Amino acid sequence: MSTAVRNDIRRLRFEHNEMTQQELADQVGATRQTIIAVESAKYAPSLELAFRIAHVFDVGIEQVFRYDAKK
Amino acid sequence: MSKQERTSWALLILNLIVGLWYFSAVFTMGPGLIMGPQLGSLIARIVIVAIVIGIAGQIVMNCLVTKQRDAVDLDERDRLIGLKAFRNGYLALGIAVVILMVGLFVLTRLAHPATGELAIDTNEFAFKLDTTFIANLLLCALVMTEVVVQTSKVFYYRRGY
């Protein structure tokens, strides 16, 4: 089961000194399993968590997440 | 596996062991024994075993976790899964209560009007339709509800919700 919310978290982590999922999880106040689920588009995060993830990468939310209307 | 998922697995296994043990013993005791010292002894044994299993389970799960621990124990996804599992449990409890109501209505028609003994008595299952029996049926429904809640949580975690 996957959501219509796609993301570029994997690429952004790679571009930020190959940040681990655990490091991202700790910075946004989530568990590593949640980051795994978000990254694989199995879980659509809340708006607040989405903003927090974008804030960690210092980019806009639309540069991290996008809506896949076909899904 | 997150801490919440590990907890769900542990609670599911514990509920199944304790539930199966207790109800298989209680519903085969027969009328008269269900309120006797046998029940007290059974409950004492189950409580002790449940505590031992709980502590042992906690130790085993802590030993299995070798990776870095999360900074938070519970996040928004865990809460959402908890709510969905609770909803499933509430639905299961509702269904169980309706089944019990219908079942008890039918059983009261089958029971002996004076003694409460049921016509379906056998050597293995000798039910007496009294408050203890009904209380055990309700307890059984509550345990099954908890099993549904924990199973739902495990399902949502495993499916990757």
How many interface pairs between A and B have CB atoms less than 8 angstroms apart? Answer: 52
Q: Please provide the DSSP assignment of B53-89 as one string.
A: HHHHHHHHHHHH--SPPPS-S--HHHHHHHHHHHHHH
Residue B117 has φ and ψ, to the nearest 5°, of: -70, 145
ipTM: 0.85
* Cβ within 8 Å, pair B75-A22: no
pLDDT: which is higher, B78 or B40: B78
pLDDT at position B123:
53
Q: Please provide the DSSP assignment of A9-64 as one string.
A: HHHHHHHTTT--HHHHHHHHT--HHHHHHHHTTSSPPPHHHHHHHHHHHTS-GGGT
Quickly tell me which residue has 């790679």 as its tokens.
A14
For chain B, give the number of residues: 161
> Is B10 in contact with B61 (CB distance < 8 Å)?
yes
Long-range interactions of B53-56: CB distance < 8 A, separation 24+: B53/B13, B53/B14, B53/B17, B54/B10, B54/B14
Half-sphere exposure of B42 (CA within 13 A, CB side): 19
Q: What is the pLDDT of residues B14-67, one digit of tens each?
A: 889 888 988 888 877 766 555 667 777 888 888 888 888 888 887 887 777 656
Q: What are the angstrom distances between the C-alpha of B135 and each of B57, B89, B127, B132?
A: 30, 19, 13, 5
* Cβ within 8 Å, pair B72-A49: no
pLDDT at position A35:
93
When CB atoms are compared, the residue of A32, A40, A45 closest to B70 is: A32
* Cβ within 8 Å, pair B70-A1: no
* Cβ within 8 Å, pair B71-A26: yes
When CB atoms are compared, the residue of A22, A31, A42 closest to B75 is: A31
pLDDT: which is higher, A52 or B133: A52
Query: Residue A2 pLDDT more than 70?
Result: yes
Sign, CA torsion B23/B24/B30/B32: negative
pLDDT: which is higher, B55 or B117: B55
Long-range interactions of B80-87: CB distance < 8 A, separation 24+: B80/B161, B81/B4, B81/B153, B81/B156, B81/B157, B81/B161, B82/B4, B82/B153, B84/B152, B84/B156, B84/B161, B85/B148, B85/B149, B85/B150, B85/B152, B85/B153, B85/B156, B86/B149
* Contacts A39 to B, Cβ<8 Å: none
* Tokens of residue A54, six digits: 């974008």
